[in-house]
Amino acid sequence: MRSTKTIHVISAHAEGEVGDVIVGGVTPPPGDTIWEQSRWIAGDQTLRNFVLNEPRGGVFRHVNLLVPPKNPEADAAFIIMEPEDTPPMSGSNSICVSTVLLDSGILPMKEPVTEITLEAPGGLVRVRAECRDGKAERIFVQNLPSFADRLDAKLEVEGLGTLTVDAAYGGDSFVVLDAAAMGFSLKPDEAHDIARLGVRITNAANAQLGFHHPENPDWRHFSFCLFAGPVERTAEGLRAGAAVAIQPGKVDRSPTGTALSARMAVLHARGEMGLSDRLTAVSLIGSTFSGRILGTTEVGGRPAVLPEISGRGWITGTHQHMLDPSDPWPEGYRLSDTWGAR
């Protein structure tokens, strides 16, 4: 065996969505802040290509790089690598990172509750983990301030006509639309159509509406399209289906923590969700994230909410990625049979 690099990974998923964690073998990228370091990773592409592209990755894979925190309040920091983006925050990935940090012993676990602070590229997030018998059973994440950017905007999509959409930020940027109005009941066999349509809608929103985070000039696009199911009132609180199309054309297997945060911001802006409500989002595979609004704030002068999301994560294995110097594809490859909506 010979290799010019060895990258140590603990693999995990959160409510169905893969979020691997690089725990060794990569030196911290340059940058004075975690955001700057994440911009370096996004611009350089070498690590992204190595772990996300085939033959090591695949379109379903997200990979998080643990780095030393910059903020003295943080216990750990992470840079999120998704198929197309290197985003400020991610719900499923933050749950995977917390699960790996605690279940593998990188950070000490206290039962029944462990509290840690993580530094995501977009800022600090407080995490509370319910722990039992050495396992972090449920992870609660106080996500970044989230806001509704536009309500009831008109969007022209070729072949679909004029759609009414909301635009919102929940740690990442979303076009939100009514799933039922698009003919979706959010069943697993709709995944392919949701992925294909979602990418078209996201691209149209980027061309016509545009998104600019008021405090982060680097985040100026819509990443995702959320097909939002009807909100039902149940004995346990509010409940709604959620399917998120991710570039270049796949559906999140989890209910998407950033989408849940964005949706809570929209519902709050419409006066349809208050601080005492709980919203459970249900994914296409039937997994759930639970959310509540902890308080209100402002982002760049606009009303925002402080969301908390919770869900479960599990370690699925360990891996050492290597590179033989004679491998002709050191950065891997992507083909449109699986990479991209068809």
Ligand X SMILES: O=C(O)[C@H]1NCC[C@@H]1O
Here the tokens at position 340 are: 């991209």
User: Hey, which residues between 120 and 179 contact ligand X (CB under 6 A)?
Assistant: 172
- Among 103, 119, 252, 308, contact with ligand X (rule: CB under 6 A): 252
Report d(CA 14, CA 139) in Å as an integer.
10
- Among 122, 229, 249, 257, contact with ligand X (rule: CB under 6 A): 257
Report d(CA 244, CA 278) in Å as an integer.
20
Cβ closest to ligand X, residue 49 vs residue 90: 90
Question: Is 20 near ligand X (CB under 6 A)?
Answer: no
90 is annotated as an active-site residue: yes
Are 47 and 86 a contacting pair, CB within 8 Å? no
Query: Which is the catalytic residue, given 11, 90, 287, 290?
Result: 90
Question: Is 17 near ligand X (CB under 6 A)?
Answer: yes
- The nearest distance, CB 144 to ligand X, in angstroms, is 11
Cβ closest to ligand X, residue 5 vs residue 334: 334
- Among 107, 240, 246, 282, contact with ligand X (rule: CB under 6 A): 246
Report d(CA 310, CA 268) in Å as an integer.
19
- Among 11, 202, 247, 256, contact with ligand X (rule: CB under 6 A): 256
| Sequence-ordered list of residues with C-beta below 8 angstroms from that of 328, at least 6 positions apart, any chain | none
Q: Of 81, 76, 17, nearest to 49 (Cα)? A: 81
Question: Which of helix, strand or coil describes residue 198?
Answer: helix
Size of the site for ligand X (CB under 6 A): 14
| Sequence-ordered list of residues with C-beta below 8 angstroms from that of 275, at least 6 positions apart, any chain | 292, 293, 294, 295
The 46-85 site mask, x for binding ligand X (CB under 6 A), equals ----------------x-------------------x---
User: Hey, which residues between 24 and 43 contact ligand X (CB under 6 A)?
Assistant: none
- Among 98, 99, 254, 310, contact with ligand X (rule: CB under 6 A): 254
DSSP calls for 226-295: EEEPPPEEETTEEEEEEEEEETTTEE-SS--HHHHHHHHHHHHHTTS--TT-EEEEE-TTS-EEEEEEEE
Beta strands at 250-251 and 113-120: parallel, antiparallel or unpaired: unpaired
Q: Which stretch binds ligand X (CB under 6 A): 22-30, 157-165, 250-258, 266-274?
A: 250-258
Q: Which stretch binds ligand X (CB under 6 A): 1-9, 115-123, 192-200, 252-260?
A: 252-260
Question: Which of helix, strand or coil describes residue 37?
Answer: helix
Cβ closest to ligand X, residue 103 vs residue 252: 252
User: Hey, which residues between 80 and 99 contact ligand X (CB under 6 A)?
Assistant: 82, 90-93
Report d(CA 167, CA 153) in Å as an integer.
8
Residues in contact with ligand X by CB under 6 A are 17, 62, 82, 90-93, 172, 246, 252, 254, 256-258
Catalytic residues: 90
